[in-house]
Amino acid sequence: MRVLFAAAELFPFAKTGGLADIAHALPKALSKSLEVTVAMPLYRFIDQERFGIEPTGRSVAFEMGGAPVRVALFRCIYEGVEHLFFYEERLCDVDAPYGPPYEANDIRFAVFCHALVALGRNERFDLIHLNDWHTALAAPLMKDRGLPSRVVYTIHNLAYQGIFPKSSLERTGLAAYHFAPEDMEFYGQVNWMKGGIAHADAVTTVSPSYAVEIQTTAFGCGLEGFIRKHAGKLKGILNGIDTDFYHPETDAALAAHYSPDRLEGKSLCKKAFLNEIDMKKYEDPLFIFIGRFVEQKGLDLLVEAVEAIARRPMTLAILGEGEERWHTALGEAAESAENIHLRFGYDENLSHRMYAAADFLLMPSRFEPCGLNQMIAMRYGTLPVVHRVGGLRDTVHESGREWVCGMGYVFDDATPDALVDAIDRALALYDRPASMDKMKRFDMRCDFSIERCAKAYEALYRGLVRR
């Protein structure tokens, strides 16, 4: 079976969030049993020399908005998987995957979607897997062009739907009949995600709980009724992590290596990191937060809990970037509390050091389609403290009579008090080192691998193609 897997970002070439990690790990796992080609834009900031990305001498051509467009194809083999890169100036001439500029994102990603369809016409793929709104337009375009390939469309985050003015329909080369309530019309605008849902053969989300949640008013972002209409082709498949990449026994970023049977190296990692950030209270538990500074991630809960955190015998290290208001609020929090360290930006190696060093991970997300941080943390023996929502509900469980993978601390109400109460329960465990080590070892042995996820997708693919 031949599969084309398309995404707007993909680690290590371009990354803003978890989509890039999955777009890297899932095709790699699928390629063990399927012929997989990954497609993404060749943004100008990608280091072509470093990754051996070379022109193929081929291109795809199409018409969009009444004008001819030609997109050049580049290629490399990375970790055994063929990667195709699409270059066209409007699509790729940016310093970050989604801009700025932002106002032309419909044109930019329409170029990508048309190019995907043109490639599908030139080369036969049994199935095309589209991810998030940036690639969603390819689904209705494929139906319009009569491509026989099956289409899987994955919703990684329903909050970002690709909504544009009605005028966008014509300039992106989409037929006028798509502007209908049962198709892409959305309160007088064009909604790309609706197009992906409507025209895909199967729709997936990144966790079973999120597949249920997005059919409700609380989490449906205005699409809950439309999603319920298409619920017959909706399936929640839990994401996974690349356990070769996130591996405390071999990770080159760490000060020391360790395993479930030999945890001593984790203590060395903690001491090394605390020295690195000049916060040397080695005896206190280390909590970390790694993520985008957006409301989704529960930044308001974290900021409102700062005073309580400052009074507790703990260290909190925060790494991330995002909206300016949260930069400011977290900056003020770090200045006012001696036990809070803040690092703006994102550094992959630093994040690995933090996972290895920490005792606990905070994820107070208001909603979380899946989340990979909690899986990575448990892989490194760091216990998650999470809001019971979405994929966090599926992957983190508080101690009961029986343990199930993985164990941590969970709060139900999205309030600062509930977050602080969960932190206090974690602190109580920290005072019982033998119990804490037992839980760490248990989580480290849990299977959150991408291979489990890939098996579910392969079964879905094969069922669609047979049908």
| pLDDT, tens digit, 9 for 90 and up, residues 383-416 | 999 999 999 999 999 987 788 899 999 999 999 9
Instruction: Give the pLDDT score at 402.
Output: 82
Rounded CA separation 180/140 (Å): 13
Q: Where are the domains of the chain?
A: 2-241+451-466, 264-448
**Residue range 178-183: mean pLDDT, rounded:** 97
Q: Are 61 and 118 in contact (CB under 8 A)?
A: yes
- Continuous segment of H or E residues that includes residue 84: strand 81-87
Position 103 confidence tier, pLDDT thresholds 50, 70, 90: confident
pTM, full prediction: 0.95
Place of tokens 């803040």: 342
Q: Tell me the sheet residues that pair with 204.
A: 154, 235
Assigned CATH for 264-448: 3.40.50.2000
**Residue range 404-431: mean pLDDT, rounded:** 97
pLDDT tens digits, 55-86: 999 999 999 999 999 999 999 999 999 999 99
Q: Which CATH architecture has domain 2-241+451-466?
A: 3-Layer(aba) Sandwich (3.40)
And the tokens for 358?
Answer: 């920490």
DSSP 8-state secondary structure symbol assigned to residue 262 = B
Position 107 confidence tier, pLDDT thresholds 50, 70, 90: very high
Statement: residue 212 has pLDDT above 80: yes
Question: Do the domains at 2-241+451-466 and 264-448 have one common CATH topology?
Answer: yes
Residue type, 8: A
Over pLDDT 90: what percentage of the chain? 95
Sheet of strand 286-290, all strands in order from the earlier edge strand to the far edge: 340-344, 315-320, 286-290, 360-363, 383-387, 407-411, 397-398
**Residue range 114-126: mean pLDDT, rounded:** 96
Q: Are 34 and 461 in contact (CB under 8 A)?
A: yes
Instruction: Give the pLDDT score at 467.
Output: 82
